Amino acid sequence: MAEIIELSRQALPHQAAQSLRRMLIEGAIAPGAKLNERELSEQLKISRTPLREAIKMLASEGLVELLPNRGAVALSLNEQDVIDTFEVMANLEAQSGELAALRITDEELAEIRALHYEMLASFTRRDLPRYYMLNAQIHERINTAAKNPVLSRTYAQLNARLQALRFRSNQDGQKWQHAVHEHEQMIIALETHDSAAMRKVLIEHLNNKRDAVLDLMRSGTLENVAAHR
């Protein structure tokens, strides 16, 4: 019984990190906002100790910054940060996609295809949180199919900085539709093992995401995306 209680306590920080991660990505905690431990502790119904451990996990992922005399603050990127980060991310995604097209197994392809169909259903329902979760899983599976652990670690670390922005980039219905079409092209490229086509569509996909994010930032509507979905 004591072991079960101890395991439950160990799981609390991970569960809290999962909840906080979703809040950061979906905009419930705005970029640049201070994470109020008292409010979050009450909201998540946990004590401060596992909450602080969860915040440290998110800091290691790059979703939260730990600042002297300010505590934990949600990551906020300016325009140049966005441009620079997407530039590197586009090339990482392109490389992982190129390798995945060459190395993917039938089982991995079947799993990605199944996630794709689930994602299409979420798009039809305009369920953005579910769509984003499945979308992220597809990109992660493509990265895993590249079978390069160094690339996977680098991808995960950098992608953490962009998760919230990628979630918000589908505010415009036409751009969201175009992103879905790009995912359909990815599936075809993986099925035909066309590495050049996979590289091309992923670079275009990331560049389009970057442009959508920059449009939102420049129009001042970025922080309202979650509220409008």
SS (H, E, C) the chain: CHHHHHHHHHHHHHHHHHHHHHHHHHCCCCCCCECCHHHHHHHHCCCHHHHHHHHHHHHHHCCEEEECCCEEEECCCCHHHHHHHHHHHHHHHHHHHHHHHHHCCHHHHHHHHHHHHHHHHHHHHCCHHHHHHHHHHHHHHHHHHCCCHHHHHHHHHHHHHHHHHHHHCCCCHHHHHHHHHHHHHHHHHHHCCCHHHHHHHHHHHHHHHHHHHHHHHHHCCHHHHHHHC
Domain boundary residue among 30, 47, 74? 74
Taking Cα atoms as reference points, which of 158, 175, 177, 183 lies closest to residue 213?
175
* Residue with more model confidence, 136 or 224: 136
The whole model's pTM is what? 0.77
* For residue 97, pLDDT beyond 60: yes
**Do residues 64 and 86 both lie within one domain?**
no
Question: What is the per-residue pLDDT across 15-53, written as a single tens digit (0 to 9) for each?
Answer: 888 888 888 877 788 888 899 999 998 888 888 888 999
Domain boundary residue among 59, 74, 89? 74
Average pLDDT over residues 181-190: 97
Distance of CA 113 to the CA centre of its chain: 19
* For residue 171, pLDDT beyond 80: no
**Do residues 108 and 221 both lie within one domain?**
yes
**Do residues 47 and 90 both lie within one domain?**
no
Average pLDDT over residues 169-174: 68
CATH number, domain with residue 34: 1.10.10.10
How much is the pLDDT for 185?
98
How many CB atoms are located within 10 Å of the residue 39 CB?
9
Question: What is the per-residue pLDDT across 42-90, written as a single tens digit (0 to 9) for each?
Answer: 888 888 888 999 999 888 887 888 888 888 998 888 899 999 999 999 9
**Do residues 93 and 47 both lie within one domain?**
no
CATH number, domain with residue 131: 1.20.120.530
**Do residues 98 and 198 both lie within one domain?**
yes
Number of domains in the chain: 2
**Do residues 36 and 139 both lie within one domain?**
no
Domain boundary residue among 74, 90, 119? 74
* For residue 129, pLDDT beyond 90: no
> Which residues span the domain enclosing 6?
2-74
**d(C-alpha 22, C-alpha 30), whole Å:** 12
**Do residues 138 and 118 both lie within one domain?**
yes
CB 119 within 8 A of CB 217: no
**Do residues 147 and 178 both lie within one domain?**
yes
- One-letter amino acid at 119 equals M
